[in-house]
């Protein structure tokens, strides 16, 4: 049975970030993930994990100025020093939080930058990050993002991400497989999981359309959960969805999908 992790950047969002750890534990989650911890001292985040008995399973490298619309800087030729600084910052946090894996967002290709230059920059940055994280015993992940939610995102398909991983040539770089993004861009979810499970370092979910809870859209999650078990996937599945019921209590109101799919949090 897949182990579920609450994504605290998407769930319980009516609460301040640090209070979401308490809410996740109260709802029954035993693991969490989030986009970024960097707006809070690492010690404060670690304290919330500890007092709630929560396991952290994932966060991202710093991704530039998120509020200004940046969605990663790994493919930006003029931001290589900022990327390297971000890797060091992520490692500093990981040492305190015990982060077991870190994801890299490739980013939106800057206007006027040749795709070949963006790819060369991304490969070099991934090689640097994979090596630095390997020295810490932390796998690096690369995640394709659908172009509808983030127009212009540089890595949008599983095959593209795997080709980049091959070009980097590191044994410390894996695919982050977000089922929602994959459904929007390519489908073939079960076939891809069967073919690539050995290269997948983490799985995330949301249904489509709407990016809400499993069971609200077209994806057959009962089949996919059974398939993950069949394939021997032992990692967590990050619940990176937007609760269909917006507002306070919306996350808790939507958690019935877990039992409905034959799963449990404990």
177 membership: H or E segment, kind and range: strand 173-178
According to DSSP, the β-strands at 31-33 and 55-60 are parallel
Q: Name the region of 72 (left: φ>0; alpha: ψ -120 to 50; beta: rest).
A: left
Is 136 labeled as catalytic in the residue annotation?
A: no
Is 143 labeled as catalytic in the residue annotation?
A: yes
CB-CB contact of 241 with 15 (8 Å): no
CB-CB contact of 21 with 48 (8 Å): yes
Compute how many other C-beta atoms are within 10 angstroms of the C-beta atom of residue 256.
11
Instruction: Name the catalytic one among 14, 188, 213, 240.
Output: 240
Residues marked active site are found at 143, 240
């Amino acid at each position: 049975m897949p182990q579920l992790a609450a994504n605290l950047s998407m769930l319980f969002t009516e609460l301040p970030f640090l209070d979401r750890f308490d809410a996740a534990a109260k709802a029954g989650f035993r693991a969490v993930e989030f986009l970024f911890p960097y707006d809070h001292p690492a010690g404060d985040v670690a304290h919330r994990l500890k007092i709630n008995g929560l396991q952290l399973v994932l966060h991202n490298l710093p991704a530039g100025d998120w509020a200004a619309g940046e969605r990663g800087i790994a493919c930006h030729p003029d931001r290589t020093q900022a990327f390297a600084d971000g890797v060091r910052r992520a490692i500093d946090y990981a040492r305190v939080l015990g982060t077991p894996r870190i994801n890299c967002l490739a980013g939106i290709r800057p206007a006027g930058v040749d795709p070949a230059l963006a790819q060369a920059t991304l490969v070099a940055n991934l090689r640097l990050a994979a090596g630095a994280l390997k020295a810490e015993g932390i796998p690096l992940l690369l995640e394709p993002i659908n172009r509808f939610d983030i127009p212009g995102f540089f890595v949008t398909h599983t095959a593209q991400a795997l080709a980049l991983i091959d070009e980097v040539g590191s044994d410390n770089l894996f695919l982050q497989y977000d089922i929602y993004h994959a459904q929007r861009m390519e489908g073939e979810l079960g076939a891809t999981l069967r073919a690539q499970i050995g290269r997948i370092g983490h799985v995330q979910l949301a249904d489509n359309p709407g990016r809400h809870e499993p069971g609200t859209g077209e994806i057959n999650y009962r089949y996919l959960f059974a398939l993950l078990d069949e394939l021997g996937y032992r990692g967590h599945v990050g619940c990176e969805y937007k609760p269909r019921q917006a507002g306070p209590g919306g996350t808790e109101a939507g958690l019935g999908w877990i039992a409905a799919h034959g799963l449990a949090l404990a």
